[in-house]
Structure 1
Amino acid sequence: MSNPILKLDNVVVNVNQNTPEQITILNHLNLTVNDGDFITILGSNGAGKSTLFNAIGGNLKIDEGQISLRDKNITHLSEENRTRFLSRVFQDPKLGTAPRMTVAENLLLAKKRGESRHLTPRGLKQQMAGFAKLTSTMNNGLDERLNTPTGNLSGGQRQALSFLMATLKRPDILLLDEHTAALDPKTSQQLMAATNDRINTEKLTCLMITHHLEDALKYGNRLIVLQDGQITYDVSGAEKEALTQEKLYSFFSDIE
């Protein structure tokens, strides 16, 4: 029996509200996310993918509908309050990390998220062995750069750090917003493999926007297609495993 963790009921988001230029971005969208789901999300430009994440994350108010977490209405909960149970990794590797702080200091900050905001060096040394073990799971040399300012990392290392920071305190919901799109193909695949390992090991509930059809097919237990602000295709299990790129192309033509 699947347990719903996140529900969006008839969610509507408009831009230019009450003007002749009003456009509906999310059009009475319904989505139920079950505990442990790893959902890959495809859709052409303008389909509403980022708007969906902004609505879930609380940095965009919805015009109609309701968003619930474990049957609790969070529709009007602030973005800041949602960070207690939700983490997001963006496309830009520069977002999500503090550039002048070292890798270890960034991880300590993530570990103390939701606690006292005052960061002190005290306790950092005791954490180093654990941080070395954690960063070694990324398989990109990040574990050898714990004392390096984050701004001096490669894009791939910095994005891997953002991902680790987002998952360190095991969020109820993890949003991956094309988090490999800014990386070269080899680095992208390396981070994607490490991402998949951590999601499966920690049994995280994750939604991931991607433009890569092969990643959408390869990863996750469920795949949805967003078109014109609605979910037009939702497939999981054996049906997802039987999917082909050709089948996905039949849904829309302008995905890269």
Structure 2
Amino acid sequence: MTNPILEIKNATTIVNKGTSSETKILKSMNLTINEGDFITIVGSNGAGKSTLFNIIGGNLVVDSGQILLHGQDISKESEESRTRFLSRVFQDPKLGTAPRMTVAENLLLAKKRGSTHGLHSRKLKQQMDELTAYASKMKNGLEKRMNTATGNLSGGQRQSLSFLMATLKKPDILLLDEHTAALDPKTSRQLLITTDERIREDNLTALMITHHLEDAVKYGNRLIVLTDGKIVADLTGTEKESLTTEKLYSYFEE
């Protein structure tokens, strides 16, 4: 039996509390995330996709309900504290990397996440081969730009670097927040293919928000549809495998 990594129990979030525009975003949401899950998440604007990621990441505290990590309540833990088990890649390629540092320096920084050691160039030279081999997994020439300042990379290479930094230490949970949305179609497709490969090969547990229903159908072992702060579909197994884009569209018309 698979043990849940993360459980969201009856989570409710409220914005503009105590005002005439008080609104519930998530409404008694329940979600169990198991080890090895690759969950794609779709929903119309305002359905609660980003809010879901924010309560998992600790950017937002739930107003009621619980968030359990391996059975332990982490509902009140800070965003910083949750980085010990969580990584997140955002839509904007500029987030998640240090622009004036080189690709290699950024990767070394990610490798040292959680440790107290500073950044030493001597250590960088020693680990350059290892970091270069890691960069080559993205299959977009990033390994040839190890000494390039990150701010001078293309959007696709910079987002690839963000993904590598987020996964280098194999987090318990990886949040992909529309991480290909800002890229051109060709670059977006390539990054999605590589993302899928890395998740499978490293057996990562990941949640990915996407606006492209085709991608939600194609990728992952599980698909969640959010509507008005609630999960209206959680498709796995043969139900997910036999899902078509047309059928998925129907959830938005109901």
Moved more, 109-118 or 67-76: 109-118
- 1:10-58 CA-to-partner distances (Å, cap 9, x unmatched) read 0001100121110100011000001110000000000000000001000
Structure 2 residue 81 is matched with structure 1 residue 92? no
C-alpha deviations, 1:71-109, integer Å up to 9, x for none?
A: 011001110010011000000000000000000000000
Confirm or deny that 1:202 pairs with 2:197. no
Kindly state the Cα deviation for residue 122 of structure 1 after the two structures are TM-superposed: 2.6
Aligned residue for 1:58?
58
Give the secondary structure class of the aligned counterpart of 1:140.
Answer: coil
Q: CA deviation at 1:62?
A: 1.0
Specify the SS of the correspondent of 1:238.
helix
Instruction: Tell me the equivalent position of 2:76.
Output: 76
The Cα RMSD (Å) is 0.8
Partner amino acid, structure 2, of 1:136 = S
TM-score, normalising length: structure 2: 0.98
Counterpart of 2:97, as a letter, is T
DSSP 3-state at the match of 1:174 = strand
Matched residue, 1:29: 29
What SS does the aligned partner of 1:251 have? helix
Give the whole-Å Cα distance in 1 for the aligned partners of 2:117 and 2:233. 42
Q: In the aligned structure 2, how far is the partner of 1:119 from the partner of 1:59?
A: 28
Letter in 1 for 2:207: L
Counterpart in the other structure of 2:164:
164
How far, CA to CA, are the matches of 2:117 and 2:174 in structure 1?
A: 22
**Aligned counterparts of 2:166 and 2:179: Cα–Cα separation in 1:** 12
Counterpart CA distance in 2 for 1:53 and 1:16 is: 19
Q: Indicate yes or no: 2:100 matched with 1:119.
A: no
Question: What letter matches 1:60 in structure 2?
Answer: L
Q: Deviations over 1:129-165 (max 9, x none)?
A: 1111111111111000000000000000000000000
Match of 1:186 in 2: 186
Structure 1 segment 122-141 matched on structure 2, within 5 A: 122-141=122-141
- Indicate the residue corresponding to 1:174 in structure 2: 174
Identity of aligned residues (%): 69
1:225 maps to a residue whose letter is V
What residue is the counterpart of 1:148 in the other structure? 148
Aligned residues: 253
Gaps of 5+ in 2: none
Instruction: Give the superposition deviation at 1:118.
Output: 2.5
Cα deviation for residue 117 of structure 1 reads: 5.6
Residue type at the aligned position of 1:244? T
One-letter identity of the residue aligned with 1:59: N
- TM-score (structure 1 length as normaliser): 0.97
Alignment correspondent of 1:16: 16
Structure-2 change in CA distance of 1:235 and 1:145 (3 Å): same
SS at match of 2:96: coil
Amino acid at match of 1:248: L
